[in-house]
Structure 1
Amino acid sequence: MPTNHDPAWLEQLHETFVEALRSNDLAALGACYTENAVLLPPGQPMIAGREAVVGYWQKAERIQDLVFEATDTRALGTDALREAGNLLVTTRGQGRETFNVASKYISLWIKVDGVWKIDSTAWSRASAPGGGGGGRGRQGGGGGGGGGGGRRRQGGGGAGGGGRRQGGGAGRQGAGGAARQGGDDED
């Protein structure tokens, strides 16, 4: 059973998800979710059902990396876990530029036939204390304001507190508004 003192358990779940997304392995990606999974991306309609969720992530090609920092986990009995925290999303812009977007997320994990799966996830852009967007900047540059978790994967600065790197070069669950298709990476 996962606990607040077992971050390796969640890191492995995140890594499994990221590897499926990174390799565009739709079957493995679908296996990360429950049959009736729900995504609540910022500024978009609810996405319901495993097939629709997989379709959403299949279109998230602009996501380059995600860094999760689970700041609160709570076991809900023996077969459910609520996870909340900070997320740093690295996205590719229109050209070769990359941008970091600080977000916050909450996920519900459910054990199905002995395997932990994502049942629901909601996320939104984190704001700097006192308003303002914060937490965004070009990769490798200075800071992007002070808004919320994680650290930059490359270069200096950072978007806030000390997050943990969860794999490389791809997307991960809870990806700020960056997974939206077309236009800017704003929420």
Structure 2
Amino acid sequence: MTTTSRTENEIMDLERESYRRFQAGDLEGLTDLFADDVLLFNPGSELLRGKQHELAALQEASKVEGLEMSWEATEARISKSEDMAWAHGSIKVKTPDGHVQMEKYVTVWMKVDGQWKLVAQVRNSNG
């Protein structure tokens, strides 16, 4: 049996908070959780550096009538030094035509000036 540390719970809470902000349409607030120079590895895209790329993509996606996206972290792990962590989970994207695409993701978090910031996000389509 594994036990979940307080810090692992913090990361899971941040993952849930990111989704809550997205659902509320608070895209600026969502990207406030990101480091300024976050690395984004999105399916079918070149490597992007900088939270402005994620903000722009989310703003464009929010304009698409009928597009639905949800995600949920399933696990978080913390480094022994408690200044770096990662989480993984699943993403569901439903397009306006009803097509559903499932993805997996990994996020990497680091302490930046005493606050957890997302420093890398890797997404991979299931098919």
- TM-score computed with the length of structure 1 as normaliser: 0.55
Distance 1:26 1:106 in 2: 20
Change in 2 beyond 3 A, CA 1:26/1:103 = closer
In structure 2, the residue matched to 1:5 is 4
Pair 1:81-2:85 in alignment: yes
The answer for the alignment partner of 1:49 in structure 2 is 50
Aligned counterparts of 2:79 and 2:69: Cα–Cα separation in 1? 30
2:33 aligned residue: 32
Aligned residues between the structures: 120
Give the match's secondary structure for 2:45.
Answer: coil
Q: Supply the RMSD in Å over aligned alpha carbons.
A: 2.5
Do the aligned partners of residues 67 and 30 (structure 1) sit closer, same or farther apart at CA in structure 2, a change above 3 Å counting? closer
Say if 1:40 and 1:122, in contact at 8 Å, map to a contact too. Answer: yes
Check the 8 A contact 2:39/2:48 in 1, yes or no: yes
Q: Is the 8 A contact 1:73 1:82 kept in 2?
A: yes
Gapped runs of 5+ residues in structure 2?
Answer: none
For structure 1, the 5+ residue unaligned runs are 127-132, 134-187
Q: Which amino acid aligns with 2:86?
A: R
* Residue 118 (structure 1) shift: 0.6
Are the counterparts in 2 of residues 38 and 53 from structure 1 also a CA contact under 8 Å?
no
Give matches, 1:106-145, under 5 Å: 106-126=106-126, 133=127
- Corresponding residue of 1:180: none
Structure with greater Cα Rg = 1
Name segments (4+ residues, structure 1) moved above 4 Å.
none
Alpha-carbon offset, residue 59 of structure 1: 2.1
- Does the residue aligned with 1:20 lie in a helix, a strand or coil? helix
Please identify which structure carries the higher strand content. Answer: 2
Q: Counterpart amino acid of 1:78?
A: E
Structure 1 residue 9: Cα displacement: 2.3
Identity %: 18
**Which residue number corresponds to residue 63 of structure 1?**
68
Partner of 1:105: 105
Question: Does the 8 A contact of 2:11 with 2:85 survive in 1?
Answer: no
1:81: how far off?
A: 0.9
CA distance in 2, matches of 1:42, 1:53: 13
Preserved CA contact (<8 Å) 1:37 1:53: no
SS at structure 1 position matched to 2:46: coil
Structure with a larger share of its residues in helix: 2
Residue 21 of structure 1: how far off its partner (Å): 1.5
**Does structure 2 conserve the Cα–Cα contact (< 8 Å) formed by 1:105 and 1:123?**
yes
